[in-house]
Structure 1
Amino acid sequence: MWLPAFAHLLLCLGVGLATGTLGLTVIFAVTAFPLAALVQWKLPGHIVNGFIKAALFMGLSIVLIEQSGGMIEAHFSIFIMLAVLILYSDWRVIAFGGLVIAVHHALFTWLQYGGHVHLYQSVGSHGEKASLIASLLMHAGAVVAQVVVLGFLARELRHMVDDSLTVCEFAETASEGRLDMSLSSAQLTRPAIASISNMQQKLTGTLGAAREAAKQVNALGDGLFKAHDSVRSQARHNTAQVERVSAAATELAATTRESAEKTSQTRQLATEAELAAKSGGAKAASLRDAMQLLEENARNIASLLGEIDNITFQTNLLTLNASVEAARAGEHDRGFAVVASEVRTLAQRTSETAGRIRERVQQTETGVRSGVQQTQDVDQTMQQVMKTFQEVASRLAEIDHATSQQHLGIEDLDASVGEMQSSIQRSAHSLEDAHRLAEHLAQVATSLMASINEFTFHEDSIPSTTAKHDRPTLPAPSAASLNAPSPVT
């Protein structure tokens, strides 16, 4: 406020030099300016400081009017300086300035009527009373109108300044993370403060919802982290199990391959044994035929021995007849009797030998018959053995085929287990990535919670997800709106 005051003082000094009234300006400046500076120093921001500034401005206008001899242009400085007082944003300061100039005009109108001063240029020093009163009323009406208009503008400007200060205070508190600034119901009637309140409410609701969401995200992040940790442990366990299954499948594949080879070898041995059994059966059949032929020959020998017995019997009869005839012949045929006796002895020996041969042949026939029976039994056994070997060979062929199929199936299982192992490894890598992402999500949620918790706001102003966003009732005006008027430069 000192800048317009000094500008006005310079104007008065210039007019004083031109009109020879410089002393009046100096006297006023030496008296009024130190007083205004002292009040501002002692009472900064007080309403008295505004009153002193208003009186100083009006005093400068009075000096200028007096220096110019009441020129109408000098009266314009009153309206200019009253307009400058609007910067105080307080109608009382403007009204006090109007009161000062009103008292001055009333007093100086009376003094002009007495011929002591010259306030109105259009009226003489000893003007008529009616003209002076008319001039006073015109000037008073203009000043009153100016004061009313400027007072209204100052009041509105005060509201705007208060609103600006409130907005600044809200911005400062919001920058510090505090959104719990209280606003009065009177303040909420003004658009700017209502917008700030609406923004505060929406921002509080948004931050509250963000805090709840951050809590949920934090909880979900923790749960996801734990779940991924459990799944990762299970995946590691599954990987170990699959590795063991893979090793077992590989070992089983090798075992089945070896079993298939041994089964094939056994089948070949069974085939060879079947051929050997067939050969043995053929030889047993040949032996059976030979034993049957031997039995038949033994029967033939027995038949021949029977003929020998007949011959021996007939020989004995002949020797007996010869002995009888020799006995009849007497001494002359004694030699014949000896021969007949020897022949009979030979026949007896032959009969005995034939008996022994018959016994041997009977024994041989019995043995041959037993051998033939055993050969038949052996032949039947060999036939059963051949059937058994054929069945064994058939079963071994089936086992060989089944073992081969089993080996192929186990190889497919081994390949499938290998693919499963690769898939589990890829899944393990994916789980590791997901685990890191879950850990990062938990860290981000924690950081978000920490950032949101830096803000302070009314818990009851957080709207629920189903409630409407009604304007909250805020108590108590802020201290900024009650501060003493101060100039806005």
Structure 2
Amino acid sequence: MKSLKAQLLSALVVMWMGLLLLAAWSAYSARENMMEERKDGLRRVVEAANGVVNSYVADVAAGKISKEEAQKSALERIAAMRYDGDNYVFIFDSRPVVLMLPSNKAMIGKNVADRKDSEGKAYYVEMMKVGQEKQQGFVQYMGRLPGTDDSNRTPKMSYVVHNQAWDWFIVTGVFLSDVQAQFRADVSRLLAILLVVGVVVSLMMLAIIRRITGSLGGEPAYAVDIATRIANGDLTVRVQTRAGDTRSLLYEMATMRERLAGVIKGIRQGTEAIDIGAHEIAAGNLDLSSRTEEQAGSLATTASNMDALTATVKQNADNARQAGQLANSASEIARRGGDVVGQVVQTMEGITESSRKISDIIGVIDGIAFQTNILALNAAVEAARAGEQGRGFAVVASEVRSLAQRSAQAAKEIKALIEDSVQRVGSGSDQVARAGETMGEVVSAVHRLTDIVSEISAASEEQRRGIEQVNLAVGEMDQVTQQNAALVEEAAAAAGSLEEQAQRLKAAVATFQVEGEEAIAPQTASVTVKAAPVAAKPALKSAAKPLVKPAAPLPPPSQAVASARSASAGRSSPANTDGDWETF
């Protein structure tokens, strides 16, 4: 991991790189702006010259002047145009032949197709190509400065417009040497500004680095490591500071470590003293608990007997409750049995009445079927006598006879159903008999329940008398052990509180390691284990009291302790003891 100084110096290097990039971008933007300004100037000049040509083209088209005179006048006017000092406009055609060149009139009328710059570019041909393809545009090439030979060429930018009416290429250009010079001047100026700003910022950064490292007294990682070790309780660490350093963070951390180590040593000594006092109090607590041990044993035995009696009473109560449920169930069964018997009787009566009516109806149907069969037979005989005229009537008689037979068959089926109903009536009679048996069982169950309830009542009475005797014994023992139990509770609470505070203090100090001492391991089982049985003994007394007076439960242990204190306030020695405990 890099040091703080290396990181800050890296940031300084990044700042220098950013300043260099900013300067380069600014110089490049300034150069591009100058180039755009030059292009706009060239464009305006050539467009003005082209406007002059177009005005003469319009005059020729209007017949105001001949084409030759118009071209001559246009060339003269454009040749006289100047801008930015001696800069001019020249014209050539598509042959390409120079029509007008103010700087070198000897070139007028000459073909310049083979004219090339120092890099071999035929710039007249290039300008003609741009004008023909795009109508207008820029061309850059190496141009010769006025008054110099061909060996002295510098970058030049020209703007060309093709006038299609007369097939003229109107051109003007400027040398870019001044742009380059201005660019170099801008770069020099930006570098100077960059150098001044960078030096100032660098000096400020170096001063800040020196101040930060001086305030810390060392590397931040080392300071974090020292702080972490101290926070974890290691006070044996040695903080390395610079010679003569009295104000840095590391110096203050070294001072804090030394003072904290002294405080921890003092706390450990106090903790040992508190621990000794807690053991002495625990010994007194054991002495008090021995005086109540016999009473507590008797109380425990009595409480066990009461628990057994309570279980018996509970069992009897459950039996009584079950008996009540059985009695209620038997009563409900008897009621339902009566209802069932009544319904069966009604059903039997309805079946009997229905069977009688059905028998009458079947008799009528059977008579009708018999009569119909006789009539059909007579009709068939009469039809046979009639011969051919009675054939249709014979068919009808045959159908009627068939219907009569079907009616007789239906009557037989109904008779079978009646027989089945008679069987069901017999089944109903059996149900009535079973219902009678059920009623007998219900009566027996009710008798058994009555006997059980009687037995439970007798047992409950006997148990009640036994519980009263046990409660009297518990009350006598409770009066004897009440005051001693209160003293034991107070002693146990005080000893437990004192030992708890001592152990907490030990645990808090145990995380620190001081020179010449080892970390203290917390001990929590020495006194607390001894005091635990004493604190639990009064609970047996409290558990027995609700059986004597169920309507008035005992107050919580805190209230019991308070009542014990008030009860013992009238006596001399216990009062002094209580006063000592409260003072503690």
Which bracket does the TM-score occupy, shorter chain normalised?
Answer: 0.3 to 0.5
Q: TM-score, normalised by structure 2?
A: 0.28
Radius of gyration: which is bigger? 1
- Structure number with the bigger relative contact order (C-alpha 8 A, sep ≥ 6) is 1
Q: TM-score, normalised by structure 1?
A: 0.33
More helix by share: 1
More strand by share: 2
